[in-house]
């Protein structure tokens, strides 16, 4: 066990899974969407899931844990949107800073879209660094691609890691894997589940990573693989991106197959055992908006190394029991 964590905007659990795989034990997860909360409870009934609005969530019960992690909403910084930043009412970075002040964890890990690194948000990034510096943290920013950590899709993400100064000198970013996973080899067994005769030929043509999977929002986006440019890239891999299939291709299927939600979940790094609550479209949004578990795992392992090298006193399990008891 590497430490205790509180997760914000937990979604369907991609980041939570990665942290769990890295050895962190979740003592609390905050998520506002009821379907995503149901997904978390379905797979990990032992997790303490707060179905709550982060704007009003009181995090003081978790004061002193090792890690606060989260993936804040992307639209304020996404190049696909208006990039309103702080003027977008979905911007939760100020709330994250308030929670950091309430909890004072040893480390913070936040994931967002690469648009956050654009020149227009330079002052915004400086403000975040300044506020975290006041709280006693040193901050690290890096653009990482999930494809470099075992995920078969192009998924650049900005990772922000902040560590209290006794641990900051021990932190380094994870090294990329030597080889990238390919769409064909990643999905071939799922494509074959109903006996599709052309599955092996399809695999031979799907020899690269896929484009970024986009989950969309309640207002925009549905169960398809994204805008025209993304669908064209999927077509080059032999995939029809106009929709999501209910099942794998049957024995006599001809043409380009569509991916199922289970296939998309695997491309996002979810294990096949992970179940999702909700109907097809809602499930796809949960999957598409998740942080890939392998990327979360790679970064949080480095955070754990930094903490463990500099740690003197770790809260014992009895303190976790106190955190949980306070919530009953």
Task: Tell me the torsion sign for CA atoms 216, 146, 261, 181.
Answer: positive
Look-up of token digits 């009895």? 318
Q: Could you tell me the pTM of the whole model?
A: 0.89
> Can you tell me the distance from the alpha carbon of 214 to that of 100, in angstroms, rounded to the nearest whole number?
29
**Sheet containing 24-31: order of strands:** 49-51, 24-31, 3-8, 67-71, 107-112, 156-164, 137-145
Q: Is the pLDDT confidence value at 85 over 50?
A: no
Let me know if 25 is exposed, middle or buried by CB neighbors in 10 A (0-12, 13-18, 19+). Answer: middle
Q: Is the pLDDT confidence value at 315 over 70?
A: no
Q: Is the pLDDT confidence value at 83 over 90?
A: no
Where is average pLDDT lowest: 197-206, 247-256, 309-318? 309-318
Please give the structure tokens belonging to residue 198. 């052309």
Task: Give the model's pLDDT for residue 86.
Answer: 45
Q: Is CATH 3.40.50.150 the classification given to domain 3-177+290-327?
A: yes
Active-site choice (9, 37, 48, 74): 74
Paired with 8 in beta bridges are 30, 70
Size of the chain, expressed as the number of residues it contains? 328
Looking at the chain, the domain(s) classified CATH 3.40.50.150 span 3-177+290-327
Paired with 70 in beta bridges are 8, 110
Question: 126 an active-site residue?
Answer: no
For residues 211 and 221, the model is more confident at 211
Let me know if 172 is exposed, middle or buried by CB neighbors in 10 A (0-12, 13-18, 19+). Answer: exposed
> Can you tell me the distance from the alpha carbon of 298 to that of 290, in angstroms, rounded to the nearest whole number?
16
Q: Each residue of 250-277: pLDDT tens digit?
A: 999 999 999 999 999 999 999 999 999 9
């Amino acid at each position: 066990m590497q430490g205790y964590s509180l997760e914000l905007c937990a979604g369907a659990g991609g980041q939570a899974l990665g942290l769990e795989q890295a050895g962190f034990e979740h003592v609390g997860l905050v998520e506002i969407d009821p379907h995503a909360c149901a997904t978390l409870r379905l797979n990990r009934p032992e997790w303490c899931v707060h179905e709550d609005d982060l704007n009003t969530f009181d995090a003081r019960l978790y004061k002193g844990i090792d890690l606060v992690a989260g993936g804040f909403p992307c639209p304020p910084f996404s190049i696909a949107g208006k990039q309103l930043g702080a003027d977008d009412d979905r911007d939760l970075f100020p709330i994250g800073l308030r929670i950091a002040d309430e909890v004072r964890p040893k480390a913070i890990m936040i994931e967002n879209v690469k648009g956050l690194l654009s020149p227009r948000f330079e002052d915004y990034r400086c403000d975040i660094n300044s506020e975290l510096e006041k709280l006693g943290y040193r901050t690290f920013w890096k653009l990482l691609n999930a494809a470099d950590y075992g995920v078969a899709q192009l998924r650049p993400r900005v990772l922000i890691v902040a560590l209290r100064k006794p641990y900051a000198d021990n932190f380094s970013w994870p090294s990329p894997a030597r080889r990238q996973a390919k769409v064909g080899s990643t999905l071939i067994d799922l494509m074959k589940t109903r006996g599709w005769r052309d599955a092996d030929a399809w695999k031979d043509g799907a020899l690269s990573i896929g484009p970024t999977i986009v989950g969309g929002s309640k207002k925009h986006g549905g169960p398809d693989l994204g805008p025209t440019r993304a669908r064209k890239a999927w077509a080059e891999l032999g995939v029809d991106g106009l929709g999501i299939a209910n099942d794998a291709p049957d024995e006599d299927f001809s043409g380009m197959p569509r991916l199922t939600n289970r296939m998309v979940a695997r491309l996002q790094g979810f294990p096949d055992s992970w179940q999702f609550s909700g109907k097809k479209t809602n499930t796809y949004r949960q999957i598409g908006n998740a942080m890939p578990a392998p990327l979360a795992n790679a970064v949080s392992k480095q955070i754990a190394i930094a903490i463990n090298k500099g740690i003197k006193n770790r809260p014992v399990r009895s303190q976790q029991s106190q955190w949980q008891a306070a919530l009953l």
